[in-house]
Every structure is written in C-alpha cells, then in structure tokens.
Homo-oligomer: A and B are copies of this chain.
C-alpha cells in the first residue's frame, strides 16, 4: 500500500488533483464555514495532501507528509484529521484499500460509488444516485432501515483498459 503514491504517476482519472484542486479546496472551506466547523491547519493541509495525490492515501502516508511539515507525527494526528474530513463530507474512506481520498464534489449532498482500478490504483468517485436508490429498495424489502452505505467497485479504469489492449 505504501508505494501507491509513487506508482502510476500519469494515471487515468480526473481526480488528478492540481487541475481543480484549488476550486475544491475553496468549496471545502465554504462548506466548513456553513457547517460551523473549523478547517484548521492540519485539517486543511490533510485535505490538500489528499487532493494532490492521484490515488487514495493510507493514513500513514498522510501522516508521513504531515510529520515532515512540522505537524504531529503520530498516528492519531492523521486519523483525527482524516476522520474529520470524512465526517464533514470533504473526503471519503475507501474501505477496500484502507485509504482515504478527497471528495470530488464537496458542497453537494451525495452518495457516491467508488471505482477502483486494479492496475493503477486510481479511485474515481462516481455518482451513485441510482445505485443508492436500488440499494434502499433492497434494504426496504428486508425491513432494514438504511443509514448509509459503502459501494466500491473493482475493475479496470478506461485508461488502463486502453493500455492493456
């Protein structure tokens, strides 16, 4: 897991960061303000780190960067910042990878699905309205009251399909 960041440096999707990272960061600040929570330096920097990465990062990957920049260097520092971002819709946890990725659409309320490429480790956030609705239906049929869900697909991203063709 630790070498994800190094690998596949010119990979697929539009989460590549630098492009719209600034815009997303601004949205994130707005959202934080709207919610009345503080986007403190560690938290903000953590979000930037996620935005700059083109793959999902493990907590220890994030921690390493934070520590190198003068923030705390012990696991709780990273986990707290990451959990904060997730709680407030600024990042998502990818359970299959034990990793985190910046939300591509902060501000909107959304239920996302994640498309994880087995070849390049990229993670793309896809709109999951319909998937979510279908799941809600299936849950209702079982008398289950759905609170939230994890939807993660594994396969090959468009770029890697072309590359392997």
Contact = CB atoms under 8 A, between A and B. Distances in A.
A158 interface: yes
Given A133-B134, A152-B150, A145 B161 contact: yes
Contacts of A141: 126
A150 B149 contact: no
Nearest to A112: B138
B133 A155 contact: no
B96 A150 contact: yes
B131 A144 contact: no
B95 A150 contact: yes
How many of these chains are in the complex? 2
Interface in A52-89: none
16 contacts: A95-B150, A96-B150, A115-B144, A124-B144, A126-B141, A135-B151, A139-B155, A144-B155, A146-B154, A147-B153, A147-B154, A147-B155, A148-B154, A149-B152, A149-B154, A150-B151
Interface of A: 95-96, 113, 115, 117-118, 124, 126-128, 130-131, 133-135, 137-139, 141-158, 161
B127 A131 contact: no
B124 A153 contact: no
Nearest to A14: B142
Nearest to A130: B134
Contacts of A147: 118, 153-156
A101 to B, nearest CB: 15
Contacts of A126: 138-139, 141-142, 144
Nearest to A144: B115
A58 to B, nearest CB: 15
